[in-house]
A and B are shown apart, each in its own frame.
Chain A
Amino acid sequence: MRHHLILRVVTKLLVGTIFLFALYVQFHGDYSPGGGFQAGVIMAVGFIIYGLVFTLKKAKKVFPPWLVHKIIALGVLVYAGTGVYSLMTGYTFLDYAAIDPHHPVHGQHLGILIVELGVGITVTGVMVAIYYAFAARAPSLSDEDW
């Protein structure tokens, strides 16, 4: 897509905004629609659109596949780790009051934030990994093919 000047300029402008929106959806999920699942998808879309317009190679330089594979597992670990932490501190599994025993409501806030972060990380990783897997196999198409 070397010659699509408009696409490249618009993408450059948009990618940052997409990431910002993903973070907003991620951390503002308590107050507005959205949460980890949606934020993860939006975050992944940012990387995918970058990979589509500027080649896959550049996208892999920004977000290398080994890192993608690691963060898929990291998200699940963050989520389950929260549960294990609350077990360790003598509460039931995934009882977020464990995080702040003096103020259970704060603990709930933090717990939801951490857990949603785990969800977001895993979803981002999985979506980007699937995109990489498909795009790496596809022969690069010229525009006339479509």
Chain B
Amino acid sequence: MVVTAISVVRARSLFAIVTLSGVFSLLSALLFIRLDAVDVAFTEAAVGAGISTVLMLGTLALTSRSERSDKRPQIIPLLAVVATGALLFYATLDMPNFGSLDAPAQTHLGPDFLERIPGDIDVPNAVTAILASYRGFDTLGEVAVVFTAGIGVLMLISRLALRRPEDEEDDQEGST
């Protein structure tokens, strides 16, 4: 993953960058599987590596193929990145060790849900049960966000009202 990330930064061809970010997504999907988060890995592989790569390529077709090279020294961005990285590392010091049984998630929430789900909902996949039932409001919000995002993109780039006459022309061409 580190190698892929560095090549994304180094590469100048946008086509290579899009492909490499797809690779990066796939690798992070593997990481999620390693963490036993199969649902998240599934999403990452489908959305990150699949759809977003295709959409990025679609965007690429609208713009230029390569990045403009910028030779100025970029001290401030580097500082910001290093500072954020250091903060994140500092934050991980407080986290319980990987797979530790004493972690708060394992002692309170996890067992509680696992005990309640067979009686309340009786669905084998606990993730689905939590996502759709216990956290139903939240998921409704997520769907609303997806809906809003879709409408926003449509408003911004598809220009429905403007294109309607052209579409009709296309149809006529198709029929004749």
Interface of A with B (CB < 8 Å)?
25, 29-35, 37-38, 41-42, 44-45, 48, 52, 57, 69, 72-73, 75-76, 79-80, 83, 93-94, 96, 105, 108-109, 111-112, 115-116, 118-119, 122-123, 125-127, 129-139, 141, 146
Contact = CB atoms under 8 A, between A and B. Distances in A.
Given A75-B143, A138-B62, A31 B124 contact: yes
Q: Is the interface of B mostly helix, strand, loop or mixed?
A: helix
A30 B150 contact: no
Interface residues of B, number: 47
B144 A129 contact: no
Interface stretch (B37-45, B80-88, B93-101): B37-45
Contacts of B151: 72
Interface in B95-144: 120-125, 127-129, 131-133, 136-137, 139-140, 142-144
Given A34-B39, A34-B42, A45 B50 contact: yes
7 contacts: A34-B39, A72-B150, A105-B120, A109-B122, A115-B139, A126-B150, A136-B158
B147 A127 contact: no
B157 interface: yes
Contacts of A45: 46, 50-51, 54
A123 B33 CA distance: 23
Nearest to A135: B58
A25 B127 CA distance: 14
Given A72-B147, A76-B147, A137-B157, A127 B51 contact: yes
A61 to B, nearest CB: 9
Contacts of B139: 79, 115, 119
B61 A141 contact: yes
Contacts of B92: none
A44 B51 contact: yes
A46 to B, nearest CB: 11
A72 B152 CA distance: 12
Return the 3 tightest CB-CB contacts between A and B, nearest first.
A126-B150, A134-B58, A138-B61
A118 B20 CA distance: 33
A58 B149 CA distance: 26
B62 A134 contact: yes
Given A109-B122, A112-B121, 4 more contacts: A30-B123, A35-B127, A130-B153, A134-B62
A123 B142 CA distance: 10
Contacts of B163: 136
A112 B137 contact: no
Contacts of A105: 120-122
B56 to A, nearest CB: 10
Nearest to B153: A130
Nearest to B120: A108
Nearest to A130: B153
